[in-house]
Amino acid sequence: MRILFLGDIVGRSGRDAVEARLPELRRRLGIELAVVNAENASHGFGLAPAMADTLFAAGCDVLTLGNHAWDRKELIGHIGSAPRILRPLNFPPGTPGAGSVLVSLADGRKALVVNAMGRLFMDPLDDPFRIVPELLSRHRLGVTVAAIVLDFHAEATSEKAALAHLLDGRVSLVVGTHTHTPTADHRILPGGTAFQADAGMCGDYDSVIGMGKEAAVAKFVRKMPGERLQPADGEATICGLFVDTDDATGLARRVAPVRIGGGLSPAMPEA
């Protein structure tokens, strides 16, 4: 299965870039499953339902979230009827929405997509090292599902790497989001799971992790309340990861970074 994962969309420039580029990326790379983190898509904070609809129309199969899941309050009442929008699996019981979804491809194969959130330097949620394996105990990679993708929305690289090693051989891909900076550690772990500590963001990199430079710098310099951070609106770079899995096992055969446009060095896998 050919899988494309795109990192956190930040603001209008990120949305516009994904909407413009994703259809061609799907054709060029033969993408069968496209998963995109959209928790910062709405002015840098949250996801509006109408924006989700536009991203689905552009070719996103699943949208994942994170610590900004409820910044757009209207999503709370919408997410229960939108199974392809995931909030973190380890949110407390009774939280609206779901943290995983089974996606059926046109040829009948199924892929499980999971969204979880870290706890180091983040909110004290349920333990992802317990709750994710518990979910995976109900699915068998290469048997009941052809692929399993985990978006681990976390601050600490150590926590992301530790969970990836725990799940090595049980999932197709563990990819980190949240820090908005692409790491250079994309690889296939010994058990066959593809991993990257952070996919980066789809947004303007002439910024402070996607937000306008002046206001963001002022917060560090003055240590005083200031204007609300706004997403930078220059040309966005699309950042993500391409994974090709073995249909017999569900494990990764190839992993490569994807970077298009904006200010970072380009990277494009061979088709």
Nearest residue to 9 via CA among 230, 180, 259: 180
Beta-strand ranges (E) seen in 28-109 are: 33-37, 62-64, 85-86, 100-104
Total H helices, total E strands in the chain: 6, 14
Distances (CA, A) of 47 to 8, 9, 53, 153, 243: 11, 10, 10, 15, 26
Q: Is 78 tagged catalytic?
A: no
> Per the residue annotation, which of 43, 68, 78, 178 is the catalytic one?
68
CB 128 within 8 A of CB 152: yes
Helices (H), 61-142: 74-78, 128-136
The two structure tokens encoding residue 136: 């995976």
CB 187 within 8 A of CB 193: no
Q: Report, as residue numbers or ranges, the catalytic residues.
A: 68
